[in-house]
Structure 1
Amino acid sequence: MQGDRLSRRSVLTITAGCALTSVGVAATGGPGGDEPTETDAGISRDSFPIMAGTDRETTVYAAVADADGPTVVVVGGVHGNEVAGYVAANEIADWTIDAGTLVTIPEANAVAVERGTRTDDEGVDLNRQFPEGDDPETALARAIWDVVSEYDPDVVVDLHESTGIYAGDPVDGVGQAVFHSEGDDAAETAADATEYATQNYVDEPEYAFQTGSFSGPENDPQGLLVHKAARELGADAFLVETLSTDVDLETRVQWQTVLTEQLTGDELFPEDEPDNGHAPGDPDEPEVPDEPDGDDPDEPDAPDENEPDDPESPIATIRTIPEDADELALEPGQTVDLDGSCSSVPDGEIGRYEWGVGGNGCFDETGETITVTIGANGSHSVVLRVVDDSGRTGTESITLSAGRNREP
């Protein structure tokens, strides 16, 4: 890590009022007061809002230890349907650190978190709004970047989830992986963190964690927060992805927290092994609302079928017109009507129907029915996600293909 910048950064965050004024926000103190609070021996805690007074308002938390050390920024909730990321980030905001500065933005995209969706109410994917070499493209992205650049962190960790496991091809999913910025230090840190998490917190071999490098500046996906932090601020940056399907929330939160501990431990816990309540085999049980399915094409993935384990969750059903269209060799230009009205809820009512078309990881159409036009070049993966009035979800997926793309 870049140790030559530690003193400047620690002093910067200790004088939080000056730093926050320069980004257009005011210090509000700890969760219950107007002044910075001393809630732990040797740690000064502070919090402040960004986008104050708007529906996008969210809170930034800063913890500064008495002992000098690097600055770490942890972000969660960039995508509102990746629940483990923002639950873990909320836990991390309360960490007791031994040295340095910990800045946390647990629910970066408050609108998306409230809606339980990847994008906000205008369909904007926040994690595509941070172009390298240019200003962020939305007001929220600019406010987040103002905080990150003001603290000038040594390490940035962004917490996400994916519906598929990473196997070298991000199109199939990026779960159970830590993607890292360039440089031997970041690569070694990611490798050590994933090895530790796998050995101590993973029981099934298929859930072993892997590492991968960030995509290049000219390659997709572009506009990611961690890419900009690494390449413009020189931070060691990490994108953490856990599998959101078929794994309980408590375990995923445990994975996210343990990985963050290992990625930042040398900075925040220089003398002791970090211990923030997640012993191997003993995950915490955070209280959170019922979660939507995660889908995250950051180092991108595709929607994947997630049949709910909860017997009270909705059962998604897709009916096609023509009938059984997913088994037919369709013609280019042919339209297929998809009907989700036969979906059911054992206990409650369906609140909304969400459709993902094309395998891009996004649910960007709503309604009981949609129409898909078959293209000449390739197959169309379609996922229906139904959400009941309690926030529980169920999904079903089918694939529609033109005749010459249909496998025998």
Structure 2
Amino acid sequence: MTFTRRTFLTAAGCTGLLGLGTTQVSSQNGSDLSRNSFTLMSGTEKATDVYVTTASESGPTALVVGGMHGNEEAGYVATESIKQWTIERGTLVTIPKANAEAVAEDGRTADDGVDLNRQFPSGEEPTTDLAREIWGVVEEYEPDVVIDLHESVGIYDGDMIGGVGQVVFTSWDEAASNDAKKATDYLNENYVSRDGYEFSVGAFSPPDDGLDGLLTHKAARDTSAVSFLAEVTSKETALDKRVQWHTKLVQQLVEEELLTSSGDEDEGGDNEDDGQNNDEENKEEGDNDDEKNQSPVARIQTTPQNVSDGSLERGDTVTLDASASKDPDGDVVKYEWDLDADGSFEESGQTTKLSVPKCKNYPVTLRVTDNSGKTATDEITITTIR
């Protein structure tokens, strides 16, 4: 997929980040990445933070949103982890708890009863202060990719009756559909083990069907961003599995855009003479390399198994096991763990342990490396609530 930065947006809704209480809250710069954050609706009950990670190498921009509905926990827990990602190029913008007031109340909406994900009418200004502030982030950063993470109590079977879990809805363009198909195929092969829980792909509803006001619909229609609305199911599914599905979907959808440097794509360079003299030989060798160098699959298993259902108590210790990770065409030779969500992998080994002394979420990331140097990651969130 090829992306370019765009000068875009309709005249409607051009509030930018100059409106309702946007304040800078932190900034952290390193040699390769710049991390910044700021607050929307600062000083109000609707205050929520936006996180911006920028790589030293220029590239596309992706916006990932969670918590649009406050009782859809997997989306905002996954986005909290995604905000810490180390990217190779471009910009990653995340809003983990878009409707922070609803998240705090564990309700689809806050006390005002307003469904935030119906306040973004296409071609018009968003209808609430918070929606306008969120749309201001879109205006400011001009994302090439927009991903909104949700969950449902049921499973999608082609209509909206009974639930819409296990589906990625896409904007009406071939690139979005193809990317979603590749991502869902990857999940179904590697992370979905129960019949009936396979992910599918669907297109956004047309503008005239009565379903309007969704952030991803507006992003696709008003800015031409490639847009995705991902739904996982909570039906008989633990939180850590739902979070894993969301995280892996996002990883697949932005891998080529943010998680791989352009140098990796162009490895070997463009030598015109070599291309003319050895075209067939290089093509054959390249095909063989691709076949021999598939990426590994990282998988975290835990003891005890249910680490996200609230059964853990303060002081418990969780054993983290990476032995289920695999490499389809070689061997996994390195196992690394990020146990404090700081983006660095401070522990190594096939197994490790994590103590949970406080009542909070503990994001954990495993990175595995195969014998050809390719890597893959898996993420879970361990929760202690008592």
Q: Confirm or deny a common fold (TM above 0.5).
A: yes
Indicate whether 1:27 and 2:17 are aligned.
no
Matches within 5 A, 1:162-177: 162-177=152-167
The one-letter code of the counterpart of 1:171 is I
For 1:230, what is the secondary structure of its paired residue? Answer: helix
Matches within 5 A, 1:275-286: 279-280=298-299, 282=301
Q: Classify 1:80/1:391 alpha carbon distance in 2 versus 1 (closer, same or farther; 3 Å).
A: farther
Structure 1, residues 256-301: CA drift from partner, whole Å, max 9, x if none?
A: 000000111111112479xxxx92354899987959xxxxxxxxxx
Question: How far apart, CA to CA, are the structure 2 residues paired with 1:63 and 1:78?
Answer: 21
Matches within 5 A, 1:1-80: 1=1, 3-5=3-5, 20=17, 25-29=22-26, 36-38=27-29, 41-80=31-70
Question: How far apart, CA to CA, are the structure 1 residues paired with 2:2 and 2:143?
Answer: 10
Q: Classify 1:282/1:261 alpha carbon distance in 2 versus 1 (closer, same or farther; 3 Å).
A: farther
- Give the alignment partner of residue 240 of structure 2, picking from 250, 255, 272: 250
Q: What's the counterpart of residue 327 of structure 1? A: none
Structure 1, residues 153-185: CA drift from partner, whole Å, max 9, x if none?
A: 000000000011011112221101100001110
For 1:27, what is the secondary structure of its paired residue? Answer: strand
* Conservation of the 8 A alpha-carbon contact between 2:205 and 2:211: yes
For 2:168, what is the secondary structure of its paired residue? Answer: strand
Q: What's the counterpart of residue 229 of structure 2? A: 239
Give the drift of 1:5.
1.7
Question: How far apart, CA to CA, are the structure 1 residues paired with 2:168 and 2:90?
Answer: 23
* Conservation of the 8 A alpha-carbon contact between 2:17 and 2:133: no
Q: What's the counterpart of residue 194 of structure 1? A: 184
* Conservation of the 8 A alpha-carbon contact between 1:47 and 1:59: yes
- Give the alignment partner of residue 160 of structure 1, picking from 129, 150, 155: 150
Q: What's the counterpart of residue 171 of structure 2? A: 181
Indicate whether 1:120 and 2:117 are aligned.
no
Tell me whether 117-126 or 282-291 shows the greater mean CA deviation.
Answer: 282-291
Question: How far apart, CA to CA, are the structure 2 residues paired with 1:143 and 1:181?
Answer: 23
Structure 1, residues 209-265: CA drift from partner, whole Å, max 9, x if none?
A: 100000001113211000000110110000000001210111110000000001111
Indicate whether 1:216 and 2:206 are aligned.
yes
The answer for unaligned runs of 5 or more in structure 1 is 10-18, 30-35, 292-389, 393-408
The one-letter code of the counterpart of 1:25 is T
For 2:4, what is the secondary structure of its paired residue? Answer: helix
TM-score (ref. length: structure 2): 0.66
- Give the alignment partner of residue 261 of structure 1, picking from 251, 257, 260: 251
Q: What's the counterpart of residue 148 of structure 1? A: 138
Question: How far apart, CA to CA, are the structure 1 residues paired with 2:211 and 2:17?
Answer: 31
Q: Classify 1:282/1:96 alpha carbon distance in 2 versus 1 (closer, same or farther; 3 Å).
A: farther
- Give the alignment partner of residue 219 of structure 2, picking from 226, 229, 246: 229
For 1:250, what is the secondary structure of its paired residue? Answer: helix
Q: How many residues get paired? A: 274
Matches within 5 A, 1:292-331: none
TM-score (ref. length: structure 1): 0.62
Q: Classify 1:234/1:290 alpha carbon distance in 2 versus 1 (closer, same or farther; 3 Å).
A: farther
The answer for unaligned runs of 5 or more in structure 2 is 9-15, 266-296, 312-383
